[in-house]
Structure formats: C-alpha cells, structure tokens
Structure 1
Amino acid sequence: MKIQNIETFRAAIPLKKPFKTALRTVTVAETAVVKITCDNGITGWGEAPPTHVITGDSLAGINYVITGIFKPLLEGESLLYRERIFEIIQQGIVGNPSAKAAIDMAIYDCISQYANMPLAAFLGGYRVRIETDYTVSVNSSSEMAQDAQVYVDNSFSVLKVKVGKDQIAADIKRIQAIRKQVGESIVIRLDANQGWEAKEAVKAIRKMEDIGLNIELIEQPVKAHDIKGLKFITENTETPIMADESVFSSDDARRVLEEGAADLINIKLMKAGGIHEALKIAALAGVYGVDCMVGSMIETRIGITAAAHFAASQPNVTRFDFDAPLMLAGDLIDGGISYQRNVIELGNRSGLGIVGVNGEFLVE
C-alpha cells in the first residue's frame, strides 16, 4: 500500500460565538485539510488549523510544508513500513507540528482502514465512547455564568473555564459567579493559557481552595518555558496542576515528569505533531503514573475524530476536551465521530470513519 497522491484544501467555518482566551479571540475556524490517496484506493484525511500563538503554524506555512516538503518526500512510500514514514516526517523539517499532525492522522486513517479496524481499536482499544467538557470563554462574570448555565442545561457536567486574560482577582470573581450559577455538582476546571505568574498563581489558587470553589484542576498557569514556576505552583497548592503548552514532545514530557513539575499532562495532536508522538507522551506519562487529558485547538470534526480515537485508545487518558466542533456554525465532514450532547461515539467504521467532505466550507 503506497502513497499515490497528497492534496491540500483550505476550509473556513464561522463560530457560533467568539472563542476568547488569554492568548487570542477566534471568530472563524480556518484549517488546512489533507487528503492522502493510496494506490489501492484507500483515502485518508487529516487537518491542521493555524494556531500562531501556540504552535507558530500559519495556513501558508502549513500548506508549504505539506505540498512543498512532505509531498515529494512521501509519495511512492509504502505505508506498511510506517516507522520509516514517521522518521521521514520528523527529519523532513524542524518544528511545524500542525503540518506534521495533519499528515500523521491521514496516514493512521489509511493504515487502520487497511487493517479494517476503527483507529481506536488499531491503536490498542480501551473505550468506545467518551465524555467531553465544554469551554466557557473569557467574558464578563455575568456572561460567563449565563454561558455556563446554557452548557449545563445541554447536559454538560464538566466545564472548562478560560481565565488569565487580566488580573487574577477578576478571574476569581468570574469563577465565583459560575460556581454560584451552576451549583456544586458541576465539575469546573480552569485554563489560564500561560496568563499568570507563579507566585500570584499560588496566592490565588490557595484563595480559591480556602473559599471552597472546588476546582478540579488548573491548566498551564504560567508561560510555557517556565518549568520552574510550574513546579513551584504544583508543590505549593492542593489543586492538581496540568501542563499544556509546556509539553509539545515526549522530550518536553520527560522533563516535566522528571522535575515533578505538573500533576497532569494535556496532549494535543497539533502540538505533538500527530498520533505517533502523542502515543509516546501518553506511554511516558503512564510510566510515571500520571494521567492525561487530550484536547485540541479550534478544529473541525476531522482533527477531533483523530484525537478522540487516540484518546479512547489509551487507559491513562482520563479527561477529554473535544467541544470545538460544537462551537462551529457548520460541519465539514460526513462520518467520523458523532455527538450525543456531551457524549462522543466513535462508531464502528474502519479508520476515522470519514465518508466525505462538505464542499460548502472549502475556500479557493
């Protein structure tokens, strides 16, 4: 089974509501779609959204890497020797993890179709359905509380609340408003997106603990490079701390785990460069007895389907952040994962189970 052709398309889908974090505001989900066609007729799909503030990837850069570098390197290569393929991808260019992820997931789609297995089963198999959280964007306290109630009314029992955009005191007021609105039974996790400093974060987290806000975990409170600060917060608070932007690769994960700098790790295919490296991160975390979350950027159901299959295949992936397609005003694909409100069903089709792409959202 050889790669016969690699194609890219650009897609853009408006969001229902602006997505706001400490790093950016998104109103339209733009993405580069990858299609790999094999000589036996199997077709695999992948995608790579540009997330400049996290991965450094742009649409133009993603397209160049895929068509200008990977296409000539990979066409004609046999997918039956996938470790060689992934070595070619890693050696082909430094960085550019989102472009690598798009190619990687399309390759895994092809291989698992050839094996006639859903990708999650091909990767090992552990779950057939998972429950996602829903993200509350940074806004005023009252708007965030209202948004949180809408999500709870739609059966979401886990909320991921974005903070870190301004002073921590304002963040605490937002969280208090949300907790008062949704009650004590709803799980609340926070994502500061690198927006805090270590000492102020410890002070604020201790205050949240003292007033009983009952926060499940806090994701990436400090800058990605500040492993010392991350460790300081982890060692000086009771609330579990999760590393996100601090961990792109298995080398990053090893450093965080060896330092004891975080209690949990958030794996994203767009950071890791795809499933191949994500598997290494999850395995390494498992050796240290550390659980993981799998999340995403603002992606369509192509990328989220790949991430969900990976997440469902790993026993130490215990948290799932796959709400991005629910934020979009349209759907790019037929097939793939399906949502029953907060529950994601993987389905029993082979590979990613994608049967077609909706041309309405493709851009010239």
Structure 2
Amino acid sequence: MKITDLKLYKLNVPLKKTFKTAVRSADTAEEVIVIIEGEAGIRGFGEAPSTAVITGDTAESIIALTSGKIRELLLGEEIENLEKLHYLIEASAVNNYSAKAAVEMAVYDLYARYYQIPLYRLLGGYSNQLYTDLTISVNSPQEMKKDALQALSEGYKSLKLKVGKNSQLDLKRIRTIREAVGPEVEIRLDANQGWEAKEAVRIIRKLEAENLGIEFVEQPVKAADIRGLKFVRENVLTPIMADESLFTAGDCITLLEMGACDLLNIKLMKCGGIYNALKINALAEAYGVEVMLGSMLEAKVSVTAAAHLAAAKKNISRVDLDAPELLKNDPVQGGINFSGPKIMISENPGLDIKKVDDLIEL
C-alpha cells in the first residue's frame, strides 16, 4: 500500500491547571497533529508538542520539516517497507526529533492498521494494560499537598513530584506530601535539571536519613552534566534516573558505560520515534537497566503511541503517561482508555484513533 498524502493540523488544548516545572510553565498543550493517508482511505495518526526548552522543537520547526522534506520523501513509498521509511525520516534532517517522532508514529499506526493488528502486539505484545503515575506541579508545599490528596482520591498510587526550584523549599514540599499521603504511596521526584551535583547529593541524603521513601530521583542535574549525574548516583542510595540526558542510542551507551544512572526515561519526542525507542530499550535491557516510558505535555494521540510501545515490552517497567489527564478536555476519539491510573490498550488495529476534534488545518 502506497502512502498517498501527509496532512498537518494544529491542536491547542487548555490544561486543567498551570503545569510548572523547574524549567517552564504552561497553561495550554500546543500540538501538531500528523495524518498520513494510504490507499483505500486508511489513515495513521501522529502528534508532536512544542517543547523548545527541552528538545529545541517549536510548532513552526515541526511543521516546516514535516510539510517539506519529510512529506517529499514519503509520498509514493510503500507502507510495508517500514525499515526504509524509518531511514527516510531519519535522513530528512539532523536532530528535529519531535517532528520525526510524530511522522513515524503515524507510519507505525498506518502499518499496523494495514495488517489489522493492534500496534502493541506488532511491537511485542507483552501486556494490554499499564498503570501510570500522576504529576504534581512544583508549587507551594500546601498547594502540592492539596493536589497530591486529590490524586489519591482519584485512585492514583504513584505520584511524581516536580521539584528543582529552591532546594530548601523542595525538602519542605517532599516532607509535607509524604506526611499527607502516608507511607504506602510511591513518590517519585523529578528535578528537571534544577540542582547541582553536590546539592543533589545533600538533598537526597537528607531524604534518605528521614526515611521519606523516594522511589527514584529523575534528572537531578543539567542534561550535559553526565559526570555530575554519575557523581550523584555513586553518592546516594536512591536510584537515579536519566531523562534530559537521554535522547539517542549513543547517549544511552554513554550513560550505561559510565554507570551514570540506575534507570532510563525514554520519550518518543526526545529520541525521534518508536524505532529509536526500541533500540534504546534493547540496549538498556542488555545492561540490566529498566526503562520508564514518559511523555511531554501531549494529547492522547502521541501518548497512545507511547502506551502501545510500553505495553509491548517487559523491560519498560514504569510509565509516566498522565499527560492527557492534565488536559481540560480530551479531543481525541479512540486510542487508549484511562480509568484513574489504569491505562487500557485497545485490541483494534493500529492505535485505534478514530478522529481528533478541534483541529486547525495547515
């Protein structure tokens, strides 16, 4: 089946509440939606958010590459030639990972629909359900406590706390939330590069001394500071996860060879799509390192693709795929289903996305 068209749309979805991390604040999820069409009217869906402060990708750059070079390369190609399509997308530009991820997930969706199989089964088929954490934005300790208790009332058993803004206040935030939620709830910390290496060690050691039960600390130092990440890992007992330090399979090898982290966070928007994510997960598994599948501020199209990947592979042992639950409304018809923290994967072909409302055609 030949690829006959590639269309682009914008999608802006307001958030329930301002999303705050150590590096940015947002009130709206700004997305680019990709729809690839094949013969007989079959369509595959993809999505990429604008995350300039993390990936360097803006809506404008995603649109420019996708509507130009990538579209030119893919039109007329056979969807069955999945390997060739991946390398055509890779050859379109250096970096530009989010644009590549959006197009590639649409390709995988179209491929799986053509063969009438759910994408997660095509990729491995390990499970058909997942459990996600819920992210608590960095705010005052009392506001974060309120948000954490609300999450518990909705059934969440794992919370990811955004920290990295004022280390002393970070300690108070964490203590306040642990006291409020009790000892059974999993607490994960994400500093989003907000600490220096020695500062991170000091903070994490205090958390350990107070027995606050932190599951792991994600990206405590700057993305480029791999030696600092390694220093933190070697001087605390709490597992350390790499996120912004990990974009490519080459980054993965560097992190694992240096022993710089205990866990890895793969995001499709950082690595350029499913094909490269599979490479990174395979490397991690070979080194005995487990993976978390995460997301940016995304709607349900790309999060559905990430969920299918996570469900397919045993070594992807954790997911942080709560982004659609942070949106004020869900414009995506079909895809994964949420029931509190539980994510159910459809058995229909591909990603099972039927339609996306409120699209602005480009």
When the two structures are superposed, what TM-score results if normalisation uses the length of structure 1? 0.98
Q: SS at the partner of 2:31?
A: strand
In 2: Cα distance, 1:344 partner to 1:130 partner:
5
Map 1:14-93 to 2 at 5 A.
Answer: 14-93=14-93
Deviations 1:47-87 (A, max 9, x none): 01010000000111100000011011110111211111111
Aligned residue number for residue 204 of structure 1: 203
More divergent stretch after superposition (325-334 vs 301-310): 325-334
Aligned residue number for residue 339 of structure 1: 338
In 1: Cα distance, 2:329 partner to 2:154 partner:
19
Deviation at 1:20, TM superposition (A): 0.2
Q: SS at the partner of 1:40?
A: helix
In 1: Cα distance, 2:167 partner to 2:328 partner:
32
Deviation at 1:362, TM superposition (A): 3.5
Q: SS at the partner of 1:92?
A: coil
Aligned AA (1:279): L
Deviation at 1:284, TM superposition (A): 0.4
1:231 matched to 2:221:
no
Map 1:175-324 to 2 at 5 A.
Answer: 175-324=174-323
In 2: Cα distance, 1:363 partner to 1:77 partner:
24
1:12 matched to 2:12:
yes
Deviation at 1:8, TM superposition (A): 0.2
Moved over 4 A (4+): none
In 1: Cα distance, 2:111 partner to 2:352 partner:
12
Aligned AA (2:248): S
In 2: Cα distance, 1:357 partner to 1:303 partner:
12
Aligned AA (1:23): V
Q: CA RMSD in A?
A: 0.9
Aligned AA (1:328): L
Deviation at 1:40, TM superposition (A): 3.2
Deviation at 1:236, TM superposition (A): 0.8
What is the number of equivalent residue pairs in this alignment?
Answer: 362
In 2: Cα distance, 1:59 partner to 1:267 partner:
21
In 1: Cα distance, 2:210 partner to 2:359 partner:
47
In 2: Cα distance, 1:114 partner to 1:9 partner:
23
Q: SS at the partner of 2:281?
A: helix
Q: SS at the partner of 1:15?
A: strand
1:151 matched to 2:172:
no
Deviation at 1:331, TM superposition (A): 1.2
- Asked if the contact 1:126–1:314 (Cα under 8 Å) also holds between the matched residues in 2, the reply is yes
- Asked if the contact 1:55–1:97 (Cα under 8 Å) also holds between the matched residues in 2, the reply is yes
Q: SS at the partner of 2:91?
A: helix
Aligned AA (1:48): A
In 2: Cα distance, 1:333 partner to 1:148 partner:
27
Deviation at 1:41, TM superposition (A): 2.2
Deviation at 1:200, TM superposition (A): 0.9
- Asked if the contact 2:8–2:35 (Cα under 8 Å) also holds between the matched residues in 1, the reply is yes
Aligned AA (1:329): K
When the two structures are superposed, what TM-score results if normalisation uses the length of structure 2? 0.99
- Structure 1's unaligned 5+ residue stretches are none
Aligned AA (1:174): R
Aligned AA (2:23): L
- Structure 2's unaligned 5+ residue stretches are none
- Asked if the contact 1:8–1:34 (Cα under 8 Å) also holds between the matched residues in 2, the reply is yes
In 1: Cα distance, 2:229 partner to 2:351 partner:
36
- Asked if the contact 1:34–1:45 (Cα under 8 Å) also holds between the matched residues in 2, the reply is yes
Aligned AA (2:59): L
Q: SS at the partner of 1:6?
A: strand
Deviation at 1:361, TM superposition (A): 5.1
Deviation at 1:114, TM superposition (A): 1.3
Deviation at 1:42, TM superposition (A): 1.4
Deviation at 1:287, TM superposition (A): 0.1
- Asked if the contact 1:65–1:99 (Cα under 8 Å) also holds between the matched residues in 2, the reply is yes
Q: SS at the partner of 2:247?
A: coil
- Asked if the contact 1:11–1:363 (Cα under 8 Å) also holds between the matched residues in 2, the reply is no
Deviation at 1:363, TM superposition (A): 6.8
Q: SS at the partner of 2:41?
A: coil
- Asked if the contact 2:8–2:361 (Cα under 8 Å) also holds between the matched residues in 1, the reply is no
- Asked if the contact 2:9–2:359 (Cα under 8 Å) also holds between the matched residues in 1, the reply is no
**Percent identical residues:** 49
